[in-house]
Chains A and B, each alone.
Chain A
Amino acid sequence: MLLAAVWLLLDPEAGGGDPQAAVQTSLPGLEPATAEPSLPGLATLAPDPGTVVQAAGPFDDRFRFERLRFGDGQVSGAVAVTSDVSELLELEVLAGFYDRDGSLVGTGRYVHHLDEATTDPGHEGAPAETHPFTVAVPDELADRAVAAAVGVPVLVNE
């Protein structure tokens, strides 16, 4: 015991003999997440009525938006992944909705998650690169939202 204590004192990274202690379960300085992902850029945008603009996100060099449209109580379009031809594991499209003054009044999100445990038996062949999405305007914003911005805070290909 004395030896082990001296050993660890001189070499704290040795970690003793407990294999489970090899796993660092606490991460110094890391604050646990308290909310779903956001895009700070949404608050700085002021799209014109009837338009959809793109909000900056961490993966903007991996995809392009196609067929963006705002109307009929929703914002819609498609995410064309340009970086990979593989299964799309995770995709979140965060939409901000704006009033006539260009103020952000609310958000909604489209979430794609590939559950590898429940593979679609109809899925065959190479994965698609383009993924359509729709985000409905929240009911409470139906009378106020006249424009939208969209961005991607989560994107993972296999």
Chain B
Amino acid sequence: MRARRRVALAALVSTAALTMTTAVVAEAAPARLGSKRIDNVIYLLGDGMGRTHVTAGRDRFYGASGSLNMERLPVVGQVRTYAVQENSGQPGAADFVPEYVTDSASSATAWSSGVKTYNAALGVDAKATVMPTVMELAKQAGYRTGNVSTAEITDATPAAQMSHVLARGCQGPVYSAASCQNTDVTGGTALPTSDLRVTPVADQIARNGTADVILGGGLARFDEADERALVRQGYDVLGSPASQQVATGSELQATRSRKVFGLFNRGNLTIEKFKQENPDAVQAEEPSLPEMTRKAISLLDRGRRSRGFYLQVEGALIDKRSHANDAAQTLEEIKAFDDAVAVAVDFARRDGHTLVIVTADHECAGFGIVERGTFTNAEATTPPNNVDSGNPANSSTTPVRTGQTKDANRSTGPLNGAGSGDPENFAPATFRTADDPPSVRDGSLEAGLWLTYLSGNHTGEDVPLFAFGPRSGALAHTVENTDLFDVMTGALRVSRS
């Protein structure tokens, strides 16, 4: 309705004041970019999804010569993910101080607001200045907006588009000084609780109307007052924050509202592997990421007469299950995310005016694919040999290493074990691939995919990027994560300056 009013208004004004309408029509109608204009931007990210996650998913589900849906996109690039320290300037500034491994909050702020910031910050730069987000600018310009995640919707990645807080832990339902304040970036003084930057994310999301369609988890972060605020703004609230009744897949399927708030779990959504193995469980009724993506697109897309839409989709559990070093669950989350990519690309191909960007915020856990039959450093008595007496040029002084053998006390051998429940469980987990004969089982020596982890935390790797649609060629490079802000705002013809 809003877009129709705009078009009608532009037509009305054009008859009355031609010189004035020139700019208005340009603002109201999609700009031409060569033969293609961009009406919509769909930004999908696999949280914690490094290059190895993609390759492992490919091997598992499509085989060595196959491709994930994201890999079939025509444009490939990679993204630098580093953050900065508190009170740092931006890259190039005299007071720039990098932080080489980012968290999800800093990374999400980079593409959402176009600035490097400190780990834990959302929607503010490293000096605590509030920065508008792509989603806010898109909303202001009349685009419809959506935010979909398998995490709590107050979690860092979705929250970065529709809230501004000093600390990502300030999620709600209530304020606490420890979780919301950060006097290191506010001159040593706590902010008043009326300040947006210490207002819990849930309170902001429920009242600022930044996203028209909000789908994910995290109902426990919202309360009765939030529900009233959402209803006042015209949201179709699926389930109930007041009663903590989660939304259902059937409710999602039924709604046709322009504004939808649906949280399908009190916490993060349930992992795909559990739902597959427990189809009768109540959690199996939660919509999948591709289902939520398809529905979000259908709710947001109002056709050619509309201004278009901006949608963010997060496969959050890739990261959360990578923290747990659970490769079996991680693989299924990669598959679900990739299926969501297919939904977005299918729409984009039909639409012809949609830019699709697929990337990640950072790598998680140092995921590795090792040669079948080998073992990891974590299983070894010592690190690999690094002393070459025949050619000393091959040797360095640090570290000095001798031979390497497997330590039976640190290795169960290849076995898909129970994590810290088994102190010898540093061995690779093995999985059958699409190339393996049907008789090969996960966890066997014969399985083709041997997966390892370096740690239980994030790493500083660059992450892959895939893109499709108008302007996607601008991403066929190594780009900063902040560059994604410029690409998306440019595509949507909005600006923060």
Which chain A residues have a beta carbon within 8 Å of chain B's beta carbons?
3, 6-7, 10-11, 13-16, 19-25, 27-30, 32-34, 36-37, 58-59, 61-62, 83-87, 89-90, 92, 111-114, 116-117, 124-127, 153-154, 156, 158
Contacts and interface: CB of A to CB of B under 8 A. Distances in A.
Contacts of B325: 126
Contact of A126 (B119, B193, B203, B456): B456
Nearest to B119: A116
Given A83-B267, A113-B178, A126-B456, A3 B137 contact: no
Interface in B312-348: 320, 323-326
B140 to A, nearest CB: 4
A106 B494 CA distance: 53
A116 to B, nearest CB: 4
Interface stretch (B61-69, B164-172, B289-297): B164-172
Which 6 interchain pairs have the tightest Cβ spacing? A126-B456, A33-B175, A15-B140, A85-B324, A90-B169, A22-B136
A108 to B, nearest CB: 14
A85 to B, nearest CB: 4
Given A10-B5, A90-B178, A126-B325, 18 more contacts: A16-B140, A19-B140, A22-B139, A23-B136, A24-B208, A25-B196, A27-B196, A28-B207, A32-B192, A33-B193, A85-B326, A92-B178, A92-B179, A113-B179, A126-B419, A126-B456, A158-B103, A158-B104
B220 A58 contact: yes
B253 to A, nearest CB: 26
Interface of B: 2, 5-6, 9, 13, 17, 20, 24, 85-86, 103-104, 118-120, 123, 130, 132-133, 136-137, 139-142, 156, 164, 168-169, 171, 173-179, 184, 192-194, 196, 199, 203-204, 207-210, 220-221, 225, 228-229, 232, 266-268, 320, 323-326, 419-420, 455-457, 494-497
A124 B366 CA distance: 13
Nearest to A126: B456
Instruction: Name the residue among B142, B176, B221 with the largest chain A CB count within 10 angstroms.
Output: B176
A22 B199 CA distance: 17
B324 A126 contact: yes
Contacts of A89: 120, 168-169, 179
Contacts of A30: 199, 203, 207, 225, 229
B132 A20 contact: yes
B44 to A, nearest CB: 21
By secondary structure, the B interface counts as loop
A36 B175 CA distance: 7
A87 B120 CA distance: 12
B192 to A, nearest CB: 7
18 contacts: A7-B24, A10-B9, A13-B142, A13-B209, A19-B140, A22-B496, A23-B164, A24-B207, A24-B209, A25-B196, A29-B225, A29-B228, A30-B203, A30-B229, A83-B268, A84-B320, A127-B457, A153-B174
Contacts of A113: 169, 178-179
A61 B140 contact: no
Contacts of A6: 9, 13
